[in-house]
Amino acid sequence: MAYDYDPENIFAKILRGEIPNDTVLETDHCLAFRDIAPQAPDHVLIIPKGAYVSFDHFAAEAGDAEIVDYTRTIGKVCKMLGVDLDAGVDGYRMIANTGKNGVQDVPHLHVHILAGKFLGRMLPNI
Ligand code: 5GP
């Protein structure tokens, strides 16, 4: 079965410049921007520019340069927000909701970085 990417999803529209966003960082292969409905004092979404629906899709089909850039961009955003553990602060949560069971609302790969407050446990034992 092939991955099914919907080019009309809201993040595809953001990437095409059809919808504005509050950009934190843009690179050759990625865009990081603030979530429109923040769930923590810092809530940033990081997306690849390529048409990938999920992390498994990205891992299977993205090129090495895209994968390296995405990984480094996530790290750079944590540094820019000042929440990386190297800064000696209290950390953050990184989430990638995926598909129906993961309750993914926007079908374009995105990682949430949430920080700036104690977030509690996501699930009873995780
Ligand atoms: P998901 O449930 O797919 O993991 O999360 C989608 C996220 O996208 C939600 O946190 C939601 O607030 C955010 N979002 C939805 N539409 C927009 C938008 O137009 N702009 C921005 N910046 N964030 C959005």
State the Rg of the chain over Cα: 14
Ligand 1 site residues, Cβ closer than 6 angstroms:
10, 19, 21, 33, 35-37, 45, 97, 103-106
Query: CA 41 to CA 19: how far, in whole Å?
Result: 23
CATH of the domain at 52: 3.30.428.10
Q: Answer yes or no: is pLDDT of 2 > 90.
A: no
CA–centroid distance, 15 to ligand 1, in Å, is 13
Q: How does pLDDT run across 9-37, given as a tens digit for each residue?
A: 999 999 999 999 999 999 999 999 999 99
- Residues involved in catalysis: 110
pLDDT at 1: 72
Mutate to test the pocket of ligand 1, among 22, 105, 122 (most ligand atoms within 8 A of CB): 105
Q: Which of 37, 39, 42 is nearest to 116 (CA)?
A: 42
Structural domain for 70, as ranges: 10-115
The total domain count for the chain is 1
Q: How does pLDDT run across 59-103, given as a tens digit for each residue?
A: 999 999 999 999 999 999 999 999 999 988 899 999 999 999 999
- 87 to each of 17, 24, 70, 72, 119, how far by Cα in Å? 33, 19, 21, 17, 19
pTM of the model: 0.97
